[in-house]
Amino acid sequence: MNRRGFTLIEGVVGMLILSIAVPVSVVMMADASSARAASMQRERAVELVDVVRSEIVADMAAPSEGAGTAQLDDHDTYEETLRTRIAPYTQPYEDAGLTWSLDVGSEVGPTGVRSLDDALNVYRGVTVSVSWRDARAGQRTLDITLYVTEIGA
């Protein structure tokens, strides 16, 4: 017998397969989209840390009076001045939901801890923290610490 078309059982089996495959595919696409968004926010966080870090390194190498690690002594004033100066570069990241802050440590020696010999305590640890909200993992923070010193110290 020459048949054209599908039997009822073939149609039911096809609908059953589709009813299982389509929702699974939608969930997988939603997870991929969420993972991509989280990855983009992490990438933006790294870029923002780099913007702030680059400016701090430039400040430490500046030849002008009051530059170098001495400006880190007044942490709040330094951070406020830095924020104002680099706002055009950081604003797109802040518009995307990222925030940043600085934490300036005390002077330490070359091993990263305070030395008994004050002449060796010429480094300052500066931690740049970037925070953002991740739909998958909640609040996230990226902390990067760099150690700075006077040029020629």
The mean pLDDT of 46-53, rounded to a whole number, is: 95
**14-48 pLDDT, tens per residue?**
888 888 888 888 888 877 777 788 888 899 999 99
**119-130 pLDDT, tens per residue?**
888 889 999 999
CA distance 78 to 88: 17
Read off the pLDDT band of 50 (50, 70, 90).
Answer: very high
pLDDT value of residue 121? 86
Nearest CA among 137, 143, 53, 130 for reference residue 98: 130
Instruction: Calculate the CA dihedral of residues 49, 54, 56, 58 and round it to 10 degrees.
Output: 180
pLDDT value of residue 153? 45
